[in-house]
Amino acid sequence: MLRTLPKPDATMLRRLAMFQGLDEAALRDVLGAGQVRALAEGSTIFIQGDPGTTCHLLLSGRVKIQQTGADGRQSVIRFIGPEEMYGTLAMFLKGGYPGDAVAVTDGVEIVWSAQAMRALMHRHPQIAQNALAMLGDRLQDLQSRVGELSTQRVESRLAHAILRLVEQAGRPRDGRVVIDFPLTRRDLAEMTGTTLHTVSRTLSAWEGRGIVEGGHRRKLVVLDVPALKAVVEEER
Amino acid sequence: MLRTLPKPDATMLRRLAMFQGLDEAALRDVLGAGQVRALAEGSTIFIQGDPGTTCHLLLSGRVKIQQTGADGRQSVIRFIGPEEMYGTLAMFLKGGYPGDAVAVTDGVEIVWSAQAMRALMHRHPQIAQNALAMLGDRLQDLQSRVGELSTQRVESRLAHAILRLVEQAGRPRDGRVVIDFPLTRRDLAEMTGTTLHTVSRTLSAWEGRGIVEGGHRRKLVVLDVPALKAVVEEER
DNA sequence: CGACGACGTTGCGCTGGCGCAAACGCGCGC
DNA sequence: GCGCGCGTTTGCGCCAGCGCAACGTCGTCG
């Protein structure tokens, strides 16, 4: 598993927000500083609280970031898809990684040591600028979620969460949208701040109305995206 | 109001996380690029959605950052106290300022244009690094609040919010802690994602138990900090 | 191939907290 | 000094959603 895999083309990095505005040579420099490795489904990549010593770029597969609160309650912070970075800010945080990272499917990623990334940022200040902009976006996103959590009701929040997943990981397939990685009711509950019971009930109701189709685990099919959007908009 | 006021000592900046690790000359450079100005109670400093063209450092007084959601619902993001910066990330955000900033008391601040701040970051890369670390902290804080909002109940959230205020703006006064800037029940409600009714009820209850003392508006006195902490910890 | 375990579904009762509504008190402006 | 208005308090009814619990279903491993 720790065997080094062949590296992808440096031009791939150009698509990433993190490496915007870098020239060819810089991209090769960036790529050269990282290690490619495989991720096995279910394996833990880093653990909440550990000092942030790595930066990750997922090439394929899917990774779940989850947090355990002081009271032991879990919450799912986000899902990472191909060509997304994660664990990047931990190197700047006193508390280390803010959550656990677990591979929910097999996958491949590039890893940089925090040291290497710091050196890269030093050699190419544009990266730090980009990181700042990305963090800003994340912050904004989180802030909107705070607003959402406190004002919307469960149904809206769930609809919103699923729409995010559709946006990020949805695979259109003759009119429907398929989210085909292991996504439990518990995950959805922890993403929306509710219980798996309520998620199950709501999803059942939607299934009855032809909005979604819940395969039993590891698959969620959205039949009617507009209907979900309607649920989000729904005034109380 | 737009009259330029005398600038404070450059060494003051050294206390700020944003300017850690800068030498004397750099601090003077930073200070020189900003403008000092007065803030009148009730005045609006910037408006949600406007392009982020300024960075602010509050010297005295108190500023409230609030957000209006798509559904028109308001939420209070945070309160700014002396020696805190705000509006700093808006220059990196596509959406401009993420919220409105309103002075809740008279005050004095330093303002930099986004241009000037960008130039400063370019001349002193350490500032960008510091900004990254600060953003990271903010992100972490927000993430914990997301968890809190979704799992804790109103009472805990309210207690937590008040404790934050005590921490940040509390003035110890013979055993009690006084928060002496205009803080309405509505503000507290919008900070904790509840209604002013529930806040009022809860505060009344606490008043009965000798935990707080609610002056009618513009003042909140916390008599028993440990009791509040106990409320936060309280298992369901 | 049978049993176990993880995940999902559903019913039921309870309650925290919201919406509505009315009354009150403090401070401000006239 | 008087009245008006904002902020607050409090009562009441209601319902979304949680906790508990039992049951169903699928995948897996011995």
CB B66 within 8 A of CB B74: yes
Distance CA A18, CA B22 (A): 26
Please tell me which of the candidates B133, B137, B193 has its beta carbon nearest to residue A150. B193
Task: Say whether B98 and A140 touch across the interface (CB within 8 A).
Answer: yes
How far CA A164 is from CA of A79, A98, A161, B99, B138, in Å, comes to 10, 21, 5, 23, 23
* Residue A2: pLDDT over 60: no
| A163 CA to C10 C1' distance (Å) | 26
Q: What is the pLDDT of residue B174?
A: 78
For B78, nearest residue in chain A (alpha carbons):
A143
Q: Looking at A174-188, B88-102, B107-121, B209-223, which range is the least confident one? A: B209-223
Q: What is the pLDDT of residue B4?
A: 63
- Which is nearest to A140 in space by CA: B63, B229, B52? B52
* Residue A227: pLDDT over 80: yes
Query: What tokens appear for A93 in the block?
Result: 């945080």
Q: Has the ipTM of the complex gone over 0.90?
A: no
Task: Say whether A142 and B143 touch across the interface (CB within 8 A).
Answer: yes
Rg of chain B over Cα atoms, rounded to whole angstroms, equals: 19
Query: What tokens appear for A100 in the block?
Result: 């656990």
Question: Which position has the higher pLDDT, A112 or A128?
Answer: A112
| Mean pLDDT taken over chain A | 90
Query: What tokens appear for A169 in the block?
Result: 């990981």
- Confidence grade of residue A215 (pLDDT, cut at 50, 70, 90): low
Task: Say whether B92 and A125 touch across the interface (CB within 8 A).
Answer: no
Determine whether the distance from the CB of B227 to the nearest atom of strand D is below 7 Å.
no
Tens digits of residue pLDDT in A50-102:
999 999 999 999 999 999 888 788 899 999 999 999 999 899 888 899 999 99
- Confidence grade of residue B94 (pLDDT, cut at 50, 70, 90): confident
**Hey, of A48, A65, A71, A231, which one would you mutate to test binding to chain B, going by the most B CBs within 10 A of its CB?**
A71
Q: What is the pLDDT of residue A92?
A: 87
- Which is nearest to B34 in space by CA: B102, B93, B108, B106? B108
CA B15 to chain CA centroid, Å, is 17
Residues of chain B with C-beta less than 8 angstroms from the C-beta of A128: 125, 128-129, 132
Distance CA A215, CA A120 (A): 44
Please tell me which of the candidates A71, A129, A140 has its beta carbon nearest to residue B128. A129
Please tell me which of the candidates A75, A139, A235 has its beta carbon nearest to residue B89. A139
* Residue B188: pLDDT over 80: yes
| B158 CA to D9 C1' distance (Å) | 18
Contacts of B25 (CB under 8 A, 6+ apart): none
Q: What is the pLDDT of residue A235?
A: 64
Q: What is the mean pLDDT of residues A225-235?
A: 88
- Confidence grade of residue B125 (pLDDT, cut at 50, 70, 90): confident
* Residue B7: pLDDT over 80: no
Q: What is the mean pLDDT of residues B62-83?
A: 90
Q: What is the mean pLDDT of residues B213-231?
A: 86
| Mean pLDDT taken over chain B | 90
Q: What is the DSSP letter of B7?
A: P
Please tell me which of the candidates A71, A133, A150 has its beta carbon nearest to residue B149. A150
Distance CA B77, CA B127 (A): 24
Q: What is the pLDDT of residue A128?
A: 87
Q: Which amino acid is at A63?
A: V
β-sheet bridge partners, residue B65? B78, B101
Q: Which amino acid is at B104?
A: V
β-sheet bridge partners, residue B37? B109
Q: What is the pLDDT of residue A171?
A: 87
* Residue A228: pLDDT over 60: yes
In what side-by-side order are the strands of the sheet with A107-113?
A: A35-39, A107-113, A54-60, A84-86
Tens digits of residue pLDDT in A101-123:
999 999 999 999 999 999 999 89
Task: Say whether A75 and B146 touch across the interface (CB within 8 A).
Answer: yes
CB A28 within 8 A of CB A39: no
CB B57 within 8 A of CB B34: yes
Tens digits of residue pLDDT in A161-210:
999 999 998 888 878 899 989 899 999 999 999 999 999 999 999 999 99
Q: What is the pLDDT of residue B164?
A: 94
Q: What is the pLDDT of residue B66?
A: 93
- Which is nearest to A206 in space by CA: A192, A227, A233, A187? A227
Q: How far is A165 from chain B (nearest CA, A)?
A: 18
* Residue A154: pLDDT over 80: yes
Range B208-230 burial, b when 16+ CB lie within 10 A, else e: eeebbeeeeeeebbbbbbeebee
In what side-by-side order are the strands of the sheet with B35-39?
A: B35-39, B107-113, B54-60, B85-86
Q: What is the pLDDT of residue A72?
A: 80
Helix A154-169 × helix A125-151 angle, to 10°: 150
CB B108 within 8 A of CB B39: yes
Q: What is the pLDDT of residue B3?
A: 54
How far CA A65 is from CA of B19, B38, B76, B88, in Å, comes to 32, 44, 27, 27
Question: Which position has the higher pLDDT, A30 or A141?
Answer: A30
CB A31 within 8 A of CB A124: no
Q: In sequence order, which ranges of chain B are alpha helices (DSSP H)? A: 24-33, 114-123, 125-151, 154-169, 185-192, 196-208, 225-233
Q: How far is A69 from chain B (nearest CA, A)?
A: 7
| A162 CA to C16 C1' distance (Å) | 27
